[in-house]
Amino acid sequence: MVTFKTNSHRNIDMFTGDAHAMLKLMGLSTTVPSALRAEDVPAALERLQQAIENIQTPPQTMEPDEAEEEGDEADKPIALKTRAEPLIGLLATAARANEHVIWE
């Protein structure tokens, strides 16, 4: 687990693999622990948002009603965009407050 922290937002816990993916999308090293200086947070946030927007989601192979009938809801992978939302919120809050972000 990797925990992202800043003073003005609740901590965000993320599985290590997901955290590494987010760090790479921001153009950062996957070194844990590490940090972003306050002045670097807006650029990292922008890179993450751009990368998430550019990721293509695979088309569904079943109609939504069919998937629900077969009980596949729990088996569906969680989209990277959905996994990134809490971290995007933390980074946006840190950018507005001009605060650094650490992860450990």
| Phi, psi angle pair for 34, to nearest 5° | -160, -175
**Half-sphere exposure of 103 toward its Cβ, with a 13 Å CA cutoff?**
25
pTM score > 0.85 for this model? no
pLDDT of residue 75: 66
Where do the structural domains in the chain lie, given as residue ranges?
2-103
Sequence-distant (≥ 6) Cβ neighbours of residue 99 within 8 angstroms: 6, 7, 8, 38, 41, 93
Per residue of the chain (104 residues), give pLDDT as tens. Answer: 999 999 999 999 999 999 999 999 999 999 999 999 999 999 999 999 999 998 865 555 545 555 555 555 566 788 888 999 999 999 999 999 999 999 99
Residue with tokens 């989209």: 79
16: left (phi over 0), alpha (psi -120 to 50) or beta: alpha
